[in-house]
Homo-oligomer: A and B are copies of this chain.
Amino acid sequence: MDFEYSPRTKEYVERLEDFMQAHILPANARFHELASQGIYPLEVLEPLKARAFEAGLWNLFMPELEEDDPGTRMTNLEYAPMAEVMGRVPWCSEVFNCSAPDTGNMEILKRFATPEQKARWLDPLMIGEIRSVVGLTEPDTASSDLTNLSTTILPDGDHYVINGRKWFSTGAKHPNAKLSIVFGVSDRSEDADPHRKHSFILVPMDTPGVEVVRDVPIMHHHAPEGHCEVVYRNVRVPRDAMLGQAGDGFMLAQARLGPGRIHHCMRTIGQCELALELMCERAMERKTFGKMLADNANIQDWIAQSRMEIDAARLLMLQTAWKMDRDGAKAARVDVSMIKVTAARLQTQVVDRAMQVFGAAGMTPDTPLSYLWTWGRAMRFLDGPDEVHMRVVARSELKNAKSRHGANAAHFVAPH
């Protein structure tokens, strides 16, 4: 359980921080200016991507790579502080080819795609040439229970035919989005094993029948790349577009979510650090009723509370990354659920306090806080609502308790 950052990690963090100062932060205002006009800021991003690629700050999230693949080959534990740094500027992950859902998509393509599928999709993703989408959540079903999902992927001669409606397909509005990885029912037989009924299939975005019907704002916020509603109407793809075997959907969904979930949590820690920094700085600038905000004991309590919560959450996150590195994502399943719930709550809590110190300005797009706060709330749904993850943790705990039954009898004291 050694969470110390290695010399290599420290050096990389420093390089990344330098890059942020030199290149990302100076571009921040321009990014938002374009985005607010509805223009995807490729003119900001493309030169930065080239520069990051050159600087070797690329594919930081991917622990294992083929010999020729560009990337840093960091463990999850090593990636954690990098993701923290990137999290401070929400749009910048793309610069380092580390943005969702590409990260998760690259991971399952790497593990489960055929050589042909890899050549067509993984290779351009690895160098940031294209971007990708995942089609999972559906508007009219309680999607936290994957067995509820109803999009169909049905064989028809040499093809599969896809019909359904997905939403929250992040990135579908991105000008470079070329691939959608779609989850759906491939076996409709009554007696099918409910965990072998679904599959993932690779759908080129330009296939006839794929329609991005709208960009769904999250708490009124339109992400530049979109969290889109996408309709699939009689979309035909050849048989070899299936990812893994038909029926592998559940297994792939599980494999896909582990590291992706924790990446969000890592960025959260960085975003909460930023919010705490801003809160402290603001509290030392503002005076009301004859006193600096920072001299009020309630605001000091908020600051202290935030520091305690952030530090505890970071350690939980590092422990999860470390366990994932050592034992694999599956073994760390309960840990992932724990940090997922913890991080999402952390973000709404810490940023809420920072906003309150900022006053009305905290609600405006002039500060990063309103976005961080609403995004924190969204994180309580992302990759499964809190309640699903709490259930995972509780069931694991109860299972342990069962195996220990009776062991604590001596702690009870007979009446005397």
Give the chain B neighbours of A283 by CB distance below 8 A.
398
The answer to whether residues A311 and B294 also contact, given A167-B360, A288-B148, A390-B304 and a CB cut-off of 8 A, is: no
Question: Chain B nearest CB: distance from A166 CB in Å?
Answer: 11
Contact of A411 among B28, B167, B377, B388 (CB under 8 A): B28
The answer to whether residues A274 and B381 also contact, given A304-B393, A316-B315 and a CB cut-off of 8 A, is: no
The answer to whether residues A218 and B363 also contact, given A277-B401, A410-B28 and a CB cut-off of 8 A, is: yes
The answer to whether residues A398 and B308 also contact, given A364-B217, A387-B301, A412-B366 and a CB cut-off of 8 A, is: no
- Flag A14-58 by CB within 8 Å of B: 1 or 0 each: 000000000001101100110010000000000000000000000
- Flag A320-339 by CB within 8 Å of B: 1 or 0 each: 00000000000000000010
Please give the number of chain A residues whose Cβ is less than 8 angstroms from any Cβ of chain B in the complex: 114
Q: Does A175 have its Cβ within 8 Å of any Cβ on chain B?
A: no
Taking a contact as CB atoms under 8 Å apart, the answer to whether B363 and A280 are in contact is no
Q: Does A245 have its Cβ within 8 Å of any Cβ on chain B?
A: no
* A213 (CB) vs chain B CBs: closest residue: B415
Contact of A365 among B167, B220, B280, B367 (CB under 8 A): B220
Question: Chain B nearest CB: distance from A134 CB in Å?
Answer: 14
Q: Does A192 have its Cβ within 8 Å of any Cβ on chain B?
A: no
The answer to whether residues A394 and B360 also contact, given A2-B4, A3-B1, A366-B414 and a CB cut-off of 8 A, is: no
A residues with a Cβ closer than 8 A to B are 1-5, 25-26, 28-29, 32-33, 36, 88-89, 137, 139, 142-145, 148, 167-168, 213-214, 216-222, 229, 274, 276-278, 280-281, 283-284, 286-289, 293-294, 296-301, 303-305, 307-308, 311-313, 315-316, 319, 338, 341-342, 352, 355-356, 359-368, 370-371, 373-374, 377-378, 380-381, 385-395, 397-398, 400-402, 404-405, 408, 410-416
- Can you list 13 A-B contacts (CB < 8 A)? A139-B361, A142-B286, A167-B360, A219-B370, A220-B220, A278-B408, A289-B391, A297-B391, A298-B298, A300-B394, A301-B387, A307-B393, A315-B316
